[in-house]
Amino acid sequence: MIKFLEKIAWITFLVALLAFPIQIIEPAPFDILVGMVIIILFFLFCFSKEKRLLLKKSINLVDTFITLFLFSNFITLTITGAILETPSLTFFLKTFYLILLYFVAKFLIILNPQRANKMIKFFLIGILITVGFIWLNYILFNFGELKIEKMIYYSLHLFLYPKTYFGIASRETGYLVWSTPYWPGVISQWGRARGWFKDSNVLGSVLAILTIYLLSLVIFIKKSQKSWITLFVLAYLGGMIFLVDSRGTAISLISVIIIYLIFLKIKTSSEIFKKTLIALLFLIILPITFLFNSWYKPRMFGGNPSLVQEIQKQTPIILPHQSERKEIIKKSLEIISQSTQNPEKLFLGHGSAKSPQLLNIKPYQILLTPHNTYLLILLENGLIGLFLFLFSIYFIFFLLWKEIIKTPFEWKNQLSVFILGSILLILFHGLVIDTLHWRHFWLILGMASALISINNQSKK
């Protein structure tokens, strides 16, 4: 019975990872399947004393800080009275669910450490399938009959997310769920590829993670045939990242690649370093070809006037652009500065989902967030929340890095290096957008915590 429950939980989670990219609807299929896994694991731990003891032994310092982060969130909502407000309660429950996702990913790996690599592979397969559909859409628009392209586009929308025929600006949560019935070029959001994700930045982030994974494979794979296949997939991804047109993705990916190269130069042979540089050249092959594309060239360099006009026709919402983002950050810093006069607000924050209300900057009709993860946490969860969040990340980095440095650079380090790179990507991306509620962020943190617990247990 125990083995059966564990197997069902694992299979359900793998299916959830394949369905991960379909996030245009709420709750997403991924969330429903993870909910099922949570229920199965609950019964598993209830019925098995052995599993409960294994669970207890796996708890580490990172888990403690993340649990305290959730608890501080709840305390803030209770003291401010925001827990009685629907948006605040909704976002607290969302954070609670994401932390449960963190523990689900961790405990499934603790039960069987061999699952970590399979977990990553299923997650990435789902993303590659999504990328394939986006490429199909792009190719049909540029080289095929427009009628065929429209037919496929409408079919995908009808099958996967019929609600996207309506423009919905959620004034309760401050998050925009918006799409047009048909958009030229790709399954997109405001001219940028986004696939079945709600936002182009989320697609960009998971593509960057996939890129880091493939780069790590290039380093460790010895068979030349597999290495070449990986290089061509990198070229395929490079073009996709260009279609996403996310500056946050570009900045975070370039930053992590530079850190990656510095690490390889110090830790490995010149042969591996050269191999990685060749892989990076493949990454930029397809993006270079897009520079000659008549539609994307004006889109990438100075904006596309026709695109802006089309957006204005189809939605009355005034969208904030780069200059206005500075105004949002400035207003966020002003609110934080004013909080120094109120210790309660400074240390505990204003409560979940309160930043849109605090940043009520006209003439924007869409409610805004700071577009910065750290400012968001500081505004909504205060200094205590930010401290607990950052210390969780610090311990993950410190403990995994320590393990990587003291052991030879070989295949068993590949997972740790990839996870650290992925977390770094999301942390850099968090400088320009809210990444706190990204599902894949908590999934990767859970995997990192599992590796830390496994390393700790192997030393005893």
Instruction: Specify the range with the lowest mean pLDDT, choosing from 153-157, 302-306, 364-368.
Output: 302-306
The C-alpha atoms of residue 251 and residue 255 are separated, in whole angstroms, by 6
**pLDDT > 70: what percent of the chain?**
73
Q: Calculate Rg over the CA atoms of the chain.
A: 22
Whether 352 has a pLDDT exceeding 80, the answer reads yes
Q: What is the pLDDT of residue 306?
A: 46
Q: What is the pLDDT of residue 344?
A: 86
Q: Is the bond preceding 298 in cis, omega lying within 30 degrees of 0? A: no
Average pLDDT of the residues in 257-262: 82
Give residue 442's pLDDT band: very low, low, confident or very high (50, 70, 90): very high
Q: What is the pLDDT of residue 361?
A: 58
Whether 223 has a pLDDT exceeding 60, the answer reads no
In contact, 105 and 128? CB cutoff 8 Å: no
Whether 312 has a pLDDT exceeding 90, the answer reads no
Mean pLDDT of the chain: 76
Going by C-alpha positions, the residue among 423, 407, 394, 419 that lies closest to residue 459 is 407
The C-alpha atoms of residue 96 and residue 109 are separated, in whole angstroms, by 20
The C-alpha atoms of residue 188 and residue 353 are separated, in whole angstroms, by 26
Q: What is the pLDDT of residue 404?
A: 78
In contact, 278 and 219? CB cutoff 8 Å: no
Tens digit of pLDDT for each residue in 89-132? 888 999 999 999 999 999 999 999 889 989 998 998 888 888 87
Which of 41-45, 135-139, 245-249 is predicted most confidently? Answer: 41-45
Whether 166 has a pLDDT exceeding 60, the answer reads no
Q: What is the pLDDT of residue 460?
A: 62
> What residue type is 74 in one-letter code?
F
Average pLDDT of the residues in 353-363: 72
In contact, 76 and 131? CB cutoff 8 Å: no
Phi-psi region of 360 (alpha: psi -120 to 50; beta: other; left: phi over 0): beta
Which of 73-87, 273-287, 421-435 is predicted most confidently? Answer: 421-435
End-to-end CA distance of the chain: 30
Give residue 324's pLDDT band: very low, low, confident or very high (50, 70, 90): low
- Higher-pLDDT residue of 65 and 142 is 65
The pTM of this model reads 0.84
Give residue 69's pLDDT band: very low, low, confident or very high (50, 70, 90): very high
Tokens of 186: 């790709």
Q: What is the pLDDT of residue 119?
A: 93
Q: What is the pLDDT of residue 26?
A: 75
Give residue 141's pLDDT band: very low, low, confident or very high (50, 70, 90): low
Average pLDDT of the residues in 224-235: 67
Instruction: Specify the range with the lowest mean pLDDT, choosing from 66-70, 198-202, 279-283, 311-315.
Output: 311-315
Q: What is the pLDDT of residue 221?
A: 65
Q: What is the pLDDT of residue 424?
A: 92
Q: What is the pLDDT of residue 94?
A: 92
- Higher-pLDDT residue of 128 and 326 is 128
